[in-house]
Amino acid sequence: MTYPFIDSAYVSTSIERPDAERVRAARAFPAATLLEANGKRGALPSQIKPVNPKFRVCGPAVTVHSPPGDNLWLHRALVLAQPGDVLVVYTSDFHEAGYWGEVMSTAARRRNIAGLVIDGCVRDADLLTEIGFPVFARGLCIRGTSKDFAARGWINHPLRIGEVPVRPGDLVVGDADGVVVVAQEALGATLDAAREREAQEANIIERISNGEATLDIYGWNR
């Protein structure tokens, strides 16, 4: 199947993804741990949460800049994303539309895409949970979207969500606490710091269980 939109300056079909072993390693850590290990950088707006709190996502970003109130470019991204990718979507600050629902989750799961992170709303909440495809969104909106073939969008170009730049191939990790984006060049150091942090916290939990106070452990008793 050929797709004419691919032959466009607005679409990149070749992106550099992080090493698969590093992606697997990142799955072992909560999003909050990776955020702290990344120097407290990369937290997407706190309004973006999983539709179901059990949803978790981890994978390289395929970025989508969508026109407001239109989800045609999301459908286009579905045929370009590779297994394990995470669609990261900026909706031009227009949140009063349900850009994603049952049909698109079914298509994404069929292609083994890892998940969706959208700075906008979705719909079909119960069905999204039933399908089990991880969706992270600002909320739910019953309103539908248009399909304007003349509207300009971009796929696999850098974008910004809140204060966070997101580039194609950056690692995206989300859980019930929220979503963090780790730049590819920072991933190795972030994973090392996450391992160290987990070991330190395990030691702190043990000390608390043995009766020590957090003020004493952290040196705040003054």
Token pair recorded at residue 35? 């955020």
Alpha carbon of 72 to those of 30, 68, 158, 221: distances in Å? 32, 11, 19, 57
Q: Which two tokens stand for residue 59?
A: 């994978």
| Bridge partners of residue 139, in order along the sequence | 121
The whole-angstrom separation of Cα 137 and Cα 105 is: 13
1 annotated binding-site participant: no
Q: Is 124 annotated as a binding residue?
A: yes
- Is residue 123 a known part of a binding site? yes
Report the alpha-carbon distance of residue 194 to residue 59 in Å, rounded: 17
Instruction: Give 126: exposed, middle or buried? Use CB within 10 Å, 0-12, 13-18, 19+.
Output: exposed
Residue 103, marked binder: yes
Amino acid (1-letter code) at residue 185: E
**Phi and psi dihedrals of 52, rounded to 5?**
-120, 130
Given a contact cutoff of 8 angstroms between Cβ atoms, the answer to whether 155 and 66 are in contact is no
- With a CB cutoff of 8 Å and minimum separation 6, the contacts of 56 are 50, 134, 174, 175
Q: Is 216 annotated as a binding residue?
A: no
Binding-site positions for substrate: 101-104, 123
Binding-site positions for Mg(2+): 124
Binding-site positions: 101-104, 123-124
